Amino acid sequence: MKFLHNWRNTPVVKIFGYVFLFKLLLKSLILAKNSLKYNIKKIPYIKGKIDDETHKVIKTIKSDFNNEIKELISFSNLPDNSITEDKIVEYFTNMKQKYSYDFRNGRVSGSVYAKNHTLDLLHNKLYLYFNKSNPLHTNVFPSIRLMENNLVSMMIKLFNGKDNVCGVFTSGGTESILLACKSYRDYFKHIKNPEIIVSSTVHCAFNKACGYFKIKLITIPCNIDGTFNTEQLETKINQNTILIVGSTPSYNLGIIDPIHSLAQIALKYNIPLHVDACIGAFLINYSEINYDFSIKGVTSISADFHKYGHSPKGASCIMYSKKEILENQYFIDEEWSGGIYATSTITGSRSGNVVALTWATLLSYGNDTYRANYNKIVTMKNHLIAEINQISGLYIIGDPKLSIVAISSDKININLLAEELKKKEWDLNIIQNPNGFHMCLTSYHTIEILNQFIKDIRLLVPIIKDNNDKYSPCIYGTMQKINDNAIIRDVVSNYLHVVNGVNLDYLNKKID
- CA dist 510 and 366 (Å) reads 53
- CA dist 44 and 78 (Å) reads 43
| 218-219-223 Cα angle (round to 5) | 145
Radius of gyration of the chain (CA): 26
Q: Tell me what pLDDT residue 465 has.
A: 67
- CA dist 182 and 330 (Å) reads 10
Domain residue limits, the chain: 133-362
Averaged pLDDT, groups of 10, the chain, 512 residues long = 39 41 44 53 73 77 80 86 94 78 86 95 96 94 96 98 97 98 98 98 98 98 97 97 98 98 98 98 96 98 98 98 97 94 95 97 98 98 98 96 97 90 93 93 97 96 68 50 62 77 56 44
Residue 443's CB is within 10 A of a number of other CB atoms, namely 17
Q: Tell me what pLDDT residue 71 has.
A: 80
Amino acid at 288: E
- CA dist 484 and 57 (Å) reads 10
- CA dist 219 and 59 (Å) reads 34
Cis peptide before 249, with omega less than 30 degrees from 0?
Answer: yes
Strands (E) across 116-240 are located at: 166-170, 195-199, 216-220
**What is the biggest distance separating any 2 CA atoms in the chain, rounded to whole angstroms?**
90
CATH of domain 133-362: 3.40.640.10
Environment class of 289 (CB within 10 Å of its CB; exposed 0-12, middle 13-18, buried 19+) = middle
- CA dist 324 and 164 (Å) reads 10
- CA dist 163 and 157 (Å) reads 10
- CA dist 372 and 32 (Å) reads 56
User: For the chain, percent helix, then strand, then coil, each to nearest 5?
Assistant: 45, 10, 40
- The pTM score is 0.85
Q: Tell me what pLDDT residue 52 has.
A: 77
Residue 295's CB is within 10 A of a number of other CB atoms, namely 18
Backbone angles phi, psi at 267, to 5 degrees: -65, -40
Q: Which residues contact 32 (CB under 8 A, 6 or more apart)?
A: none
- Identify whether the C-beta of residue 28 lies closer than 8 Å to the C-beta of residue 36: yes
Strands (E) across 206-272 are located at: 216-220, 241-247
Strands 216-220 and 195-199 come out as parallel
Residue 200's CB is within 10 A of a number of other CB atoms, namely 16
Question: In this structure, which long-range contacts are made by residues 154-159, counting pairs with CB atoms below 8 Å and at least 24 apart in sequence?
Answer: 154/362, 155/281, 155/303, 155/305, 155/317, 155/319, 156/293, 156/319, 158/281, 158/282, 158/285, 158/292, 158/303, 159/277, 159/281, 159/285, 159/292, 159/293, 159/301, 159/303, 159/319
